[in-house]
């Protein structure tokens, strides 16, 4: 592909990526939002984090099938416990990584 073809492709992708990020912020940040909308939006972070995590934890993403008990899920349990105990984001990231790395050495996968 030539420079111009890449420019067209990435330009197009860039515009359709930017617009959904820009429109709500640009308009809503200068409006007085009704209370119900603020309340509803306050549910979005939790909902979206769970939606992003669900396939990683509960499914085999190559075959797109249910898989309970994969290392990602098993490691998540002690990782969450560590987060509850310490309330540390950085520590949790390291503990999660370490446990996931160790889980690769387990005989049963």
Partner 1 sequence: MAMPLWQPIKPGYTPVNQAEEQRKTMHKQNREQRTMQPDDKSWLKDGAMASWPICFGYIPIGLALGVLANQAEIPVWAVAMMSIMVFAGSAQFICVAMLTAGASVWSIILTSFVVNLRHFLMSSAIAVHLTGLRRIFLSFFAYGITDESFAVNMTHFRKGNWDHKRAIIVNQLANITWIIATVSGALIGQFIPRGAFGTDYALTAMFLALLLFQLHDVVYVLTGLTALGLATAWYLLIPGNSYIVGSSVIAASIGYFFKQYRDKHR
Question: 11 to 40, contacts with partner 1 by CB under 8 A?
Answer: 11-14, 16-18, 20-26, 28-30, 32-33, 35-36, 38-40
- What kind and span of H or E run contains 73? helix 71-86
Tokens of 37: 């909308």
For position 42 contacting partner 1 by CB under 8 A, the verdict is: yes
Which residue has 């990435």 as its token pair?
Answer: 10
Q: Write down the least CB distance from residue 108 to partner 1, Å.
A: 18
Sign, Cα dihedral of 84, 88, 91, 94:
positive
State yes or no: residue 43 binds partner 1 (CB under 8 A).
Answer: yes
Task: Report if residue 104 touches partner 1, rule: CB under 8 A.
Answer: yes
Return the sign of the alpha-carbon dihedral for residues 44, 49, 50, 54. positive
Nearer to partner 1 (CB atom), residue 46 or residue 108: 46
CB 54 within 8 A of CB 74: no
Binding of partner 1 by 78 (CB under 8 A): no
**Would you count residue 99 as binding partner 1 (CB under 8 A)?**
yes
């Amino acid at each position: 592909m030539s420079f111009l073809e890449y420019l067209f492709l990435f330009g197009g992708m860039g515009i359709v990526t930017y617009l959904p990020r820009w429109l709500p912020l640009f308009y809503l940040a200068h409006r007085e939002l009704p209370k119900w909308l603020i309340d509803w939006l306050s549910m979005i972070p939790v909902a979206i984090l769970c939606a992003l995590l669900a396939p990683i934890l509960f499914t085999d993403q190559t075959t797109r099938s249910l898989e309970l008990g994969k290392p990602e899920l098993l490691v998540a349990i002690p990782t969450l416990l560590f987060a509850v105990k310490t309330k540390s984001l950085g520590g949790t990231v390291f503990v999660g990584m370490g446990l996931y790395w160790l889980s690769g050495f387990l005989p049963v996968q």
